[in-house]
Each structure stands twice: as structure tokens, then as C-alpha cells.
Chains A and B, each alone.
Chain A
């Protein structure tokens, strides 16, 4: 066998573990509880594996995984900052972990949801937040459905959304989920949104809104931002802020003051909650006053009697998942914001920009930087190296040096895109190690390109055949 053993191959055919409480009541004849025709006939095809073997199996698997704790994780647009351990402790306090979503004695949870919403309003310049969305993409869906509802209730037909060509793939995908079609606008040579084209598109009269990431996915802050939102509003559209890149501007500027009407955040990016290998995240959505009624239900509001939970009062877009969202994630983000406070938040933002620009200026004499000015928390490299060495080759060469690769092949507007975001929690030694590795790889591309094209060599496994995986899918054992 050329693959590692699966957990299913480590089992025995008998009960070994003993986790379940003793059966302490008298049994009823099972056939009278459940007719035979509804019973499971065959054994579940899962082995009985002794506890210690399970632990060892997964601890070994974990050791084959690279996390933020292993080293720098400069994945652009993902904000892989340190995940403070206190957050893990607070989310596991039994008063949070063990409470039922439908129990009435939930004052602490409701207060936390309200307080976190208020903090996010202050940071973003919005008037209300829903914390229900389970991830950034679900936050986007929530935001776009709010736009749909807004026009539906006003009785105005608008069925298009503008996104720049540098947008995250989720923006167009989300718009389609709300029945909107897309107008894509090509970014200009500065990586910014051309105002004349925006105005031209808005003049059509059928545009419901604009989705924009700012700083955008090429890492620069769009200097025309207030003009952009003004144009959209002039033609009756709404401005949606994709908060994936909020990290460098928190405490510096507020999307709400830039003219944005709706914003989603990624608590698992900006607010330090762990990515968990792909979730759970949380994607809160903030809105301006006029849109509060459309927020999904349930919501926590403050009235004269204190905090109250409200359900759909008629204009809400409805429910987008069950209960209160990924509450455990909210506890972590709340802990983080309390830890940082007003100065820490700004300091985190500034240092994320410092770190990104430090790397940029130390590799720009070799690497092509398409938008070479002061960037925000991330910057884009066109990793078209000598002798046909490409972005993927550079990524794999970084892995060989024990470093996680940046985001590659995104955004789509640069062919060999490599988006580098170190975050503020990396120290200078780690940044220097990354810089050194990048320069070394460049030199290697000049001297020995064939070697780079077949890497990595020092990892658990070599470069894998993605085409084969898709052509002959083997998705289970």
C-alpha cells in the first residue's frame, strides 16, 4: 500500500472503549418501539478502535499539518494571524459551551451577542450588526439578500450587481444566489476602480449595488473610495463592503464613513478566531439604519426594558441558518476585541501594514510587483520568474523551506499572481526568513529551474496529481 493507513484499518471487531453511561432502566422489546422494517439491518461499517490508537492516529495526522503555530502563514486575503489561547479557554467556559440555544436563562450569551455587535458597529461605522452568518460567504449572501429585499419592498426592479475583476469569487457567486447578474469592471493600471466606467454602468439604471473590497485584493486602498460610493448612491444603488481585508484599516478608518451601506466581516480573519483547517468561521453583517429591518432573524435589540431577542417582524430577509450562528466563534472574537482595546486594534492594523510593506520593499529588486506603491496589509507579486518558473513552483519551493506559501493564482487579473499577507503577529526574524527564502528561490530559478518545477522534495509527499484526482474521483474509503 502506498498510502498511509486510514483509521478504519486500525480497528477490531469488538467493543473496547466504554464512553456511554450504563443503561439503568428496564428495556422494552425493541420491535415494539421500532418496526423491523424501519430498523437498520446491517452493522455500521465502522470499526471499534481503542482510544489510544485513535489519539495517536490523529495526533500523527496533526503533525503532518502546517498551522499558524508552525510558522509564517502569509496567505493573502486570509489574515492568518496568531490565534490567542485565551480565546480557546473562554469559548470553552461551561456557561458558554454547554448552554442550549433554546433555554430561556441565557442572559450572558445575549449580552455577549449584543456587546460584540456594538463593538463591531464602532469599528466599522455601522448602525447594527447580525452575528448569525456562519462564514464570510454566508455573510455575503445575507448582505446581498438585504439588497434584494430593500429594492423588493420599495418596488424598484434592479437586477444587477457590479463587481471589479479583482473581486473574490464569492462575490459573483453570491450575487447569483440572490438572482442578480453581474457587471464586471476591469481595474485600472493602479489596481483601482475606474470612476468613468462605474458611472457608465450605474447610468443603466438597473444596478442594485456595488460589491467592493477595500483595500482590494491587489493590496491597495482605493483612493477614490468616497467618490465611488457617491456615484453608486447618486443612481440609487447600495454599496457593499467585503470585509475580508478590514485588518489594515481597523482603528484607522471606518467603512461606514466611506459610504458603505452593508458590510460583512470574517471574524476568523480580522478578529483572530482560528480557521480550523477550513472553519468554523463567522461572517457578521453590519448595516446602516435604513436597512436594519431587513437583517436576518433572530436579533438582539436593546429597548427600555433591556436586551430582547426579536424574531421576524415582517421585513426581515428571514432566517439564514438555525439558532444564533457560530456562537463559540463569537466568544473568541469578543475576547480578542476586549484584549486589544482601542489602541491595540489600531496597533494591530498598523503593524500588519508595516510587515507587508517591509517584505515588499525587500524583494522588489527581484520580483515584479504590479502595484508597487505603499500597500496595505498585503501585496501582489507577479511570480513569473526566469526560465518559466511560475507561481506554483515558487509556492512549492517555499514549502521545501518549511514555510507556508502565499495565496497563488488569485486575484485572477495577474496571471502568476502571488498574494502575500504576513499579518501583524509575525516577528522580524520570521519575515526575514521569508524574504531570504524568496530571494534564494529567485536565484535558483535562474540557475536550476528544472529542480523547482518538480518540487517540493522535503515534504511529507511530493507534488500531487490534481488532474487525476478530478478525472477519477475517489472520495471515500
Chain B
């Protein structure tokens, strides 16, 4: 099955019009020694066989009844209309909206996304999305370099380990120095040579940092240094003080409204203060007017920042982003609305903190967070392997063993509790924890 519509007769007619005899004649420019005989791949499959094949493969992955795993990818309830809307074929089969007059649907959706995220975060400007939070954070670090012309970035401990590694990769590319430090050393490390401070809150371990205090520190000790906040699960903004109220210069986060899908696709949110608008990477959509009429409409704008115009002087090479996921995030946000977003955030706070309190009362377990937490927290366990095994036996996706990222932290777990965990799930998990301690 190759989705080619022509029959042999049509091909013959077309070849005749071109003036060649057969399809192979179309490849006169390729040197013969480079032409291959045949690919070493199987024959094509019918759609029914494809579905069978892929279904069998998908079933080799286990789907759990419930999950206490987060660490950068979260299970939230996604309203059914989200998938229905991103399945509208004129959205998902379109390209980047270069021809504005026949792309107003996508363009207006992006404009609404830019608006919705800016409203949620209270930041001035949001772009049309980045690939994910990790690469968005890396691009934010690069942006700090472009804004300040300084070549050193400070990363505060507690940023997701995969984000840190991504930032390091991008910064190595541009020869920007990075240093990871604990928050309490920030005072000593802040100098006028620092381009930006990267901090995650709630951080990888669940801690909610007082970002406004960090901002004050940075402003008092440096002239130009940018404050960049990352966030893995922005559903917390339903109850948490938004970055725009904390003097954050650049905010990045993972998107909302998507299933985990083994880690992607999701999207990277990137929002900035207005003064950095012309230094931000990625697509931006703006409102404008007809040249020969009065109607208002949307176009790709401020393209002078981008690679197809600036080439090697561009801030980034990003072009395709995560547009369809952007629609999913937008529809998720408007479906829940201000009331629903508040409810989701509240439930995550309540349920996770309930489990946190309950676990701390089971002998052998010790909650290690000293700061407030959202839907994740870390716990020292009496018998981590028993706990993990028992969870799996009960069809529960267990919390993350911290040793996955930090080999020394062998008996600690990172637990995630969301609105998807019912009272029964929670009680079951607490019961397992109790049994595993014995």
C-alpha cells in the first residue's frame, strides 16, 4: 500500500507528456553506480495487517490501572473534546500557516494559545510553542546570552536532570559556560558576568521555591542577569502564584492536555517579558489588518528574528514547533476554564499532600521536602524494592526511584499524586507502603 493514485495507463500518458519512456528514465542525473537494486525491507502490509502488527507491539507495553509516577510526565484527565479538535483534519494536515488568507483557523488558534498562556502565567508575551520544556529551557539560556552578551549560566539544583543535560548540550554548542549550584549559594555566585539564573519551581523534587525572593536577590546584585523559571507541570498555576507576578524574565514549561505517549509529543511553553519580545526564538502570530480592506486577521510576524531571514545570525534554528499540541493545550485550558483549572490544582495539592502526611506517619518513611509541595514529593523508604514490586503486583505504576537519576540516592522515591488517583488508589498505595515497611 503506497497511497499512489495513478494506474499504469495514467503513468504512461504522463511519461509521454514529459518525453521519457519509463519511470527509471527520470533518474538520469543519479550516477548508475549509486543506484541500488532493492531495499532490504519486507513487502508492504494491508491496513488490517498493520493494525494487527502495531496492536501486538503496543501490547508489549504495560498499561497500569493507576500511577504514582511523574518526574516530568504527568497523568491528568483530558477532556474528550481535546482529541476531537486536534483530529480536525484541516488542523492536523496543514503546514505552518505561511499563506495567511487560507490559514486563519490555525493562526487564530495560535493567537488564542499565545493569549491563554500569557493569561495563565501573567507573562507579557508567549510564542507559538517550543519542542518541550527541556529544549525551551536551553533556548531560554541561549536567549539570556543574546540579551546580556554574558557567557555564563547558573542552574539551581532541583532542575529536572534531563533539562539540565539539555541546557548543557545547547550551551556547549555556543560555548556558554554552565554551573549547577544549590540555591543557598546563589548570593556568592551572582556577579555581573552571569547571563541568567535558571530555576525550576515546583522543582524536580517537588519543592515550591519562593521565586520572588530569588528575583529580588538577582536584581539587587546584578544589572542585567535574567531570571528564568522552568516548570514541569503548569496545572499548579491554578493555585500557585504565577511567574508574571514574581518578576520572572523568561518562563518555560511543559504543555498540558496531552497523554504521556512515552514522553512525546508534548510542547514547550516559552513566555517572556515584553522587552525581550524581539529576542525570543520561535514563531509568533500577530493581529493585523487587510491591505485593501478593513477586516482584521492574523499573520506570522516578527520573522526578522528567524532563521529563514537572519540565517547564521538567527537566535535559534527552530521553525516547526508543536503546533497541533499547542491546540491541544489551548483546548485543555479553555475546556477547564478558570474554575476547572483551580479545581484541578486544588485536588493535586490536596491529594498529594494527603499522601505526604499519611506516609510520614508510617514508621520507616521520611518525607524529605522541607518546602511546600504541589503534586510531587520525595520520601526515604525502609524497603524500596519491596515497595516497587508490591506496587507492580497490584497493577500500580510505582513512584520513581531517585537512583534512576541520582545513583547515590538508593532508598529515595519521588511520588506523584494527581486528580487521577482516587481515594481507593491512594488507600491501596498507603497500604502497600505499610506492608513494604514490615
Q: Which residue of B lies closest to A396 (CB)?
A: B101
8 Å CB contact of B294 from A2, A175, A317: A2
8 Å CB contact of A252 from B30, B97, B318, B321: B30
Residues of A within 8 A of B132 (CB): 134, 321-322
| A14 at the binding interface (Cβ < 8 Å) | yes
Q: Which residue of A lies closest to B351 (CB)?
A: A25
Residues of B within 8 A of A407 (CB): 98
Residues of B within 8 A of A477 (CB): 111-112, 115
8 Å CB contact of B343 from A20, A177, A427: A20
Contact call A277/B91, Cβ cutoff below 8 A: yes
8 Å CB contact of A51 from B3, B71, B81, B290: B81
Give the complex CA separation of A40 and B17 in angstroms.
68
| B409 at the binding interface (Cβ < 8 Å) | no
A242 CB to closest chain B CB (Å) equals 12
8 Å CB contact of B2 from A39, A347, A459, A466: A347
Contact call B240/A96, Cβ cutoff below 8 A: no
Residues of B within 8 A of A68 (CB): 93-94
Q: Which residue of B lies closest to A227 (CB)?
A: B31
Within B371-412, which residues are at the interface with A (CB < 8 Å)?
372, 397, 400, 404
Within B315-355, which residues are at the interface with A (CB < 8 Å)?
316-325, 327, 330-331, 333-344, 346-347, 349-351, 353-354
8 Å CB contact of A362 from B17, B40, B131, B330: B17
8 Å CB contact of A465 from B29, B289, B316, B404: B289
B127 CB to closest chain A CB (Å) equals 9
B3 CB to closest chain A CB (Å) equals 5
Q: What 0/1 pattern do residues 450 to 471 of A give for CB contact below 8 A with B? A: 0000101001111111101110
What number of A residues sit within 8 Å (CB to CB) of B? 204
Instruction: Pick the interface stretch among B50-58, B180-188, B191-199, B218-226.
Output: B50-58
Contact call A47/B96, Cβ cutoff below 8 A: no
Q: Which residue of A lies closest to B27 (CB)?
A: A252
| A150 at the binding interface (Cβ < 8 Å) | no
Give the complex CA separation of A45 and B311 in angstroms.
38
Contact call A175/B319, Cβ cutoff below 8 A: no
Contact call B3/A84, Cβ cutoff below 8 A: yes
Give the complex CA separation of A317 and B323 in angstroms.
27
Give the complex CA separation of A226 and B265 in angstroms.
37
Contact call B5/A425, Cβ cutoff below 8 A: yes
Residues of B within 8 A of A338 (CB): 42, 44-45, 50, 53-54
8 Å CB contact of A102 from B58, B91, B174, B400: B400
Give the complex CA separation of A272 and B338 in angstroms.
38
Within A120-177, which residues are at the interface with B (CB < 8 Å)?
122-123, 134-138, 140-141, 144-145, 148, 168-170, 172-177
12 contacts between A and B (CB under 8 A): A2-B294, A99-B262, A112-B57, A123-B39, A134-B322, A275-B95, A344-B44, A374-B18, A426-B5, A466-B288, A475-B286, A477-B115
Knowing that A4-B104, A35-B372 are A-B contacts, what are 8 other residue pairs whose CB atoms are under 8 Å apart, sorted by A's residue number?
A: A3-B296, A15-B337, A67-B92, A145-B172, A277-B323, A279-B323, A373-B29, A376-B29
